[in-house]
């Protein structure tokens, strides 16, 4: 029953590019996507930097084939999921048992906010069409319809670990012979709801974030979507372009400490990473790169850093937080960072952790500050830790 | 492929619905004609729980957390398990929409951090784990309605593959004054009359209150 | 100052949902965090909201928090000092 799970295709859209090639180019050239708010119309404009996808809803609609009246969350999702499917080399998904496991935290909130602005002043105003796809599950269904996936569709909503959880749930469905192909990952668009909420928790950085820096001040919110196409061994063998990366390990654990903060010892992070290693039968020293959760908050970075110390000492792999490029994309982060991790294996690259100036004094290791190419990367660990103590780690390996 | 679940049992259940609390399919408390908020507080008092953080939770978390307290009381020997082998898997239809709306009301004036914390459905799971020190795998799914087949398959898989030895699972749904929660305690090899099957899950879920 | 302290106790109980606590249970000098009432980081953020909502004082530097919110008395002193400056 424990067959290998192959990655046949990946797709992504974020503040650093509207597709794989653009994102990879930005990562290789140290080009972050953080800046002033342009698309979102908030009172915090020009005060709080964010990492928006550099496209209006009209442009996203055009690229996705969905109407511009649909939620930005769905528009982003279709673009990335379709790119992943197109790259997979699977010619006819209807001939295989195919599922769509998608995660998000805001659902269609961006459209609901537009509705509410009109409705609040006059309850005869506001277009009801704007709230039809408010629910998280509704966004998934909308995108599944657009992609033509019918066999199995579900939504996971566990905050910042959501899309990583979607990915390993997809793997389980294949391992249990319920599906042959799964498009799994997640999406989130920037909304006032989220921006105001994070602002009131006082964990936003008013400058560009500095993950794992001793003087870090908080996170920058981002938006985007990232999906992988997972396939069974049988499907992998049938493809013309043979997949070269597998999902070799995964684990989810609960930190059981606080609703929104991580335990100082990084218990949940430790258990998730340790469990993923155990499942993949790898030793810590065999990990070549860690894509950190690395949000840039005081709390996450010390908790995650402490857990890494406990697990990897004294052999620390190279590591970096790509949230220094894309911001924290919440429901999309596990998916986007899984894609970046897979690209790292495929292209032999280790991304830099941008804007790291002063290493954290508590930790005996420092993330990479420069790009490294032509590295023989066999195993990448990627972390996604969410509110509610929900911690997930995934391992992608070269086949 | 049918997943083997012959050695897995429902060792306890708790339903809170229509202002009635049932434990193991027996009614143990009722308080009709009160608002939802007052009802939840009356359940908290009735079962002699002492956990002041309860009052800070949103209604969804209060509901799920209370159900878990009643579910586990006198039914679960937690010390027999490692914390990493106990998990929580929940689902609902409305996610955290009830609290999302309450939070959004405050955005007009000053956004409330205490409400924002609860604008994710899996915080219910967080509250249960913080209270019980469960460190195993947890997940929250969004479905149109309770899917017993999914719960049976998903949790059997976790237990049969030794990812968990015990699990709190079920449905925790709340929107406005409409709510229903049905939680199950599922354990390996602790034989009871209710083996862990889709049919038994549905039987307990559909139980009508007298 | 005493009137402000009494009012603050009622406001704190309401803002933080401390339903089992009565104003007379909170001593003026009692530590609000860690020991005492055992408040946490989210409660600290709600106290910042309380200052803004009821007293129009904006505490934008979270690091000032532990000093200002040490007890009801220190909160009252902070409010008195800042309100007279606003006049």
A315 and A234 within one domain: no
User: For residue range A169-227, what is the model confidence (pLDDT) as tens digits?
Assistant: 999 999 999 999 999 999 999 999 999 999 989 999 999 999 999 999 999 999 999 99
Identify the closest residue of chain C to B117 by CA–CA distance. Answer: C42
Marked catalytic residue, from A23, A133, A136, A160: A160
Whether pTM exceeds 0.80: yes
**Has residue A1 been placed in a domain?**
no
Segment B55-62 mean pLDDT: 96
CA dihedral B130, B132, B136, B141 (to 10 degrees): -70
What crossing angle do the helices spanning A333-347 and A20-28 adopt, rounded to 10°?
70
**Is A391 a catalytic site residue?**
no
pLDDT value of position C84: 64
In a domain, A377, yes or no: yes
For A361, the domain range is 247-398
Please give the interface size between B and C, counted as residue pairs whose CB atoms are below 8 Å apart: 31
A293 has catalytic annotation? yes
Same domain, A65 and A191: yes
Q: If contacts are CB pairs under 8 Å, which of residues 137-176 in chain B contact chain A?
A: 137-144, 153, 157
**Average pLDDT per run of 10 along chain A, which is 399 residues long?**
91 98 98 94 89 96 92 97 97 96 90 81 81 83 94 92 96 96 97 92 95 97 98 97 97 92 93 97 98 96 97 97 98 97 98 98 97 97 93 97
Peptide bond into B171 cis (omega under 30): no
In a 13 Å sphere around the CA of B10, the CA atoms on its Cβ side amount to 28
pLDDT at position A45: 87
Q: Which of A4, A8, A12, A6 is nearest to A340 (CA)?
A: A12
Last residue of a domain, one of A211, A238, A265: A238
DSSP-assigned letter for residue A240: S
| Total length of chain C | 87
pLDDT on residue B3:
42
Domains of chain B by range and CATH? 8-205 (3.40.47.10)
A101/A134 same-domain check: yes
For A319-367, what is each residue's pLDDT tens digit? 999 999 999 999 999 999 999 999 999 999 999 999 999 999 999 999 9
Q: Per-residue pLDDT tens for C27-83?
A: 999 888 877 777 888 898 999 999 999 999 988 777 788 889 999 999 999 999 887
Instruction: Return the structure tokens found at A136.
Output: 């998280």
Judgement on whether residues A209 and A137 belong to the same structural domain of the protein: yes
pLDDT range class, residue B145, cuts 50, 70, 90: very high
Looking at the domain assignment, is residue A265 inside a domain?
A: yes
DSSP secondary structure code for residue A255 in this structure = -
In a domain, A61, yes or no: yes
Residue A131: inside a domain:
yes
Gap between the Cα atoms of B107 and B86, Å rounded: 37
The whole-number pLDDT of residue A228 equals 98
Residue at A35 is within a domain: yes
Count the domains in chain A: 2
Closest CB to B114: pick one of C20, C46, C52.
Answer: C46
Query: What are the pLDDT digits (tens) for B60-111?
Result: 999 999 999 999 999 999 999 999 999 999 999 999 999 999 998 898 888 9
CATH of domain C2-86: 1.10.1200.10
A188 and A42 share a domain? yes
Q: Where among A238, A256, A277 does a domain terminate?
A: A238
State chain A's mean pLDDT as an integer.
Answer: 94
**A122 and A207, same structural domain?**
yes
We report the CATH number of the domain holding residue A98 as 3.40.47.10
User: Would you state the pLDDT for residue A161?
Assistant: 94
The answer to whether position A76 is within a domain reads: yes
The shortest CB-CB distance from A172 to any of B94, B133, B157 is to B157
Packing angle between helix C2-15 and helix C72-86, nearest 10 degrees? 110
């Amino acid at each position: 029953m424990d067959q290998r799970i192959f990655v046949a295709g990946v797709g992504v859209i974020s503040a650093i590019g509207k597709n794989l090639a653009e994102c990879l180019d930005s990562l290789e050239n140290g080009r972050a996507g953080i800046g002033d708010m342009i698309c979102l119309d908030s009172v915090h404009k020009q005060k709080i930097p964010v990492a928006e996808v550099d496209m209006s809803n009209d442009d996203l609609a055009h690229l996705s084939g969905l109407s511009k009246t649909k939620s930005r969350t769905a528009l982003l999702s279709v673009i990335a999921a379709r790119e992943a499917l197109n790259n997979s080399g699977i010619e006819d998904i209807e001939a295989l048992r195919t599922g769509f496991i998608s995660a998000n935290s805001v659902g269609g909130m961006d459209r609901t906010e537009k509705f509410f602005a009109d409705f609040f002043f006059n309850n005869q105003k506001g277009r009801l069409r704007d709230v039809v796809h408010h629910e998280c599950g509704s966004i998934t269904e909308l995108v599944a319809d657009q992609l033509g996936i019918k066999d199995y569709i579900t939504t996971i909503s566990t905050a910042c670990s959501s899309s990583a959880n979607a990915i390993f749930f997809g793997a389980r469905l294949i391992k249990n012979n319920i599906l042959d192909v799964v498009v799994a990952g997640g999406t989130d668009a920037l909304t006032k709801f989220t921006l105001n909420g994070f602002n009131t928790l006082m964990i936003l950085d008013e400058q560009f974030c500095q993950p794992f820096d001793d003087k870090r001040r908080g996170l920058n919110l981002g938006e985007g979507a990232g999906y992988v196409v997972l396939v069974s061994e049988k499907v992998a063998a049938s493809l013309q372009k043979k997949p070269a990366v597998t999902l070799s390990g995964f684990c989810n654990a609960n930190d059981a400490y606080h609703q929104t903060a991580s335990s100082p010892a990084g218990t949940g992070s430790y258990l998730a990473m340790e469990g993923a290693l155990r499942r993949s039968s790898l030793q810590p020293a065999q990990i070549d790169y860690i894509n950190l959760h690395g949000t840039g908050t005081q709390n996450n970075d010390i908790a995650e850093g402490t857990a890494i110390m406990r697990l990897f000492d004294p052999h620390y792999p190279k590591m970096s937080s790509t949230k220094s490029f894309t911001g924290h994309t919440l429901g999309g982060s596990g998916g986007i960072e899984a894609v970046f991790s897979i690209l790292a294996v495929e292209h032999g690259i280790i991304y830099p952790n941008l804007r790291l100036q002063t290493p954290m004094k508590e930790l005996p290791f420092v993330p990479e500050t420069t790009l490294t190419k032509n590295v023989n990367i066999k195993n990448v660990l990627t972390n996604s830790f969410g509110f509610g103590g929900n911690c997930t780690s995934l391992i992608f390996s070269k086949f | 492929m049918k997943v083997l679940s012959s050695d897995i049992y429902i060792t306890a259940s708790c339903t809170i619905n229509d202002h009635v609390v049932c434990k193991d399919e027996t009614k143990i408390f009722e308080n009709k004609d009160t608002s939802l908020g007052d009802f939840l507080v009356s359940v908290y008092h009735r079962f002699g729980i002492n956990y002041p953080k309860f009052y800070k939770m949103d209604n969804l978390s209060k509901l799920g957390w209370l159900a878990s307290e009643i579910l586990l009381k006198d039914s679960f020997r937690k010390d027999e398990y490692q914390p990493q082998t106990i998990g929580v898997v929940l689902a609902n239809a409305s996610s955290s929409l009830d609290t999302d709306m309450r939070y959004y009301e405050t955005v007009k004036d000053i956004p409330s951090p205490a409400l924002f914390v609860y604008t994710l459905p899996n915080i219910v799971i967080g509250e249960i784990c913080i209270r019980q020190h469960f460190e195993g795998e947890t997940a929250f799914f969004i479905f149109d309605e309770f899917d017993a087949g999914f719960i049976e398959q998903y949790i059997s898989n976790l237990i049969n593959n030794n990812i968990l030895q015990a699990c709190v699972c079920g449905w925790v749904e709340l929107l406005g004054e409409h709510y229903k929660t049905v939680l199950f305690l599922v354990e390996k090899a602790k034989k009871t009359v209710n083996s862990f099957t889709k049919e038994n899950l549905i039987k307990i879920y559909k139980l009508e209150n007298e | 100052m005493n009137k402000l302290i009494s009012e603050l106790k009622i406001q704190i109980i309401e803002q933080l949902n401390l339903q089992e606590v009565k104003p007379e249970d909170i001593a003026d000098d009692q530590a609000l965090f860690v020991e005492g009432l055992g408040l946490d980081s989210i409660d600290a953020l709600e106290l910042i909201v309380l200052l803004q909502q009821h007293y129009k004082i904006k505490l934008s530097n979270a690091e000032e928090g532990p000093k200002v919110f040490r007890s009801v008395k220190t909160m009252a002193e902070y409010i008195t000092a800042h309100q007279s400056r606003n006049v």
